[in-house]
Amino acid sequence: MHKSPGCIADARGSTLVEMLVATCLLGICMVAVATSLRQSSHAMADTVYRQRAARLATDLAEILRGVSTMTVLQNELPAAHDCGINPCSATQFIQAQLSVWQNRAARELPGGTAGFDVSRTGEMPIATIRVTWRAGDDQPGQHRLNIALAQ
């Protein structure tokens, strides 16, 4: 068989085109992998923030169980008291714990805030605990927990 010079040139050109196509496909795949890694790191951070918010809400639920229902319903918790230095009453101790809890929310979550509201549904008072934060993409995150308070 006789090869013409044009066939060799065509083979070299098609190999170059194949390499360019392969390089473009590799670049597209690398961008897809980088995007996937970014999304998974945001999802993991969001999961960590949600776990922290759930733990903070559960901690406040335990604190509220130590407060009399009438005190919570009337929002008559006293100002924060330093129970580490000075002796304090049970109510002052609870208020100090609430202050520590709010500071933890601000420290453990980006833009973290925390609070609670109490409403009465029939005979049973219900506390709604809210923990909010700002996620990395400025989407607000929120965790709510409702607990029934003992009479």
What is the structure's pLDDT at 74?
A: 47
- In this prediction the pTM is 0.65
Q: How confident is the model at residue 142 (pLDDT cuts 50, 70, 90)?
A: confident
Look at residue 26 and tell me whether its pLDDT is greater than 70: yes
3-class SS of residue 116: strand
Count the domains in the chain: 1
- Terminal alpha carbon distance of the chain: 101
Give the structural domain span for 126. Answer: 5-148
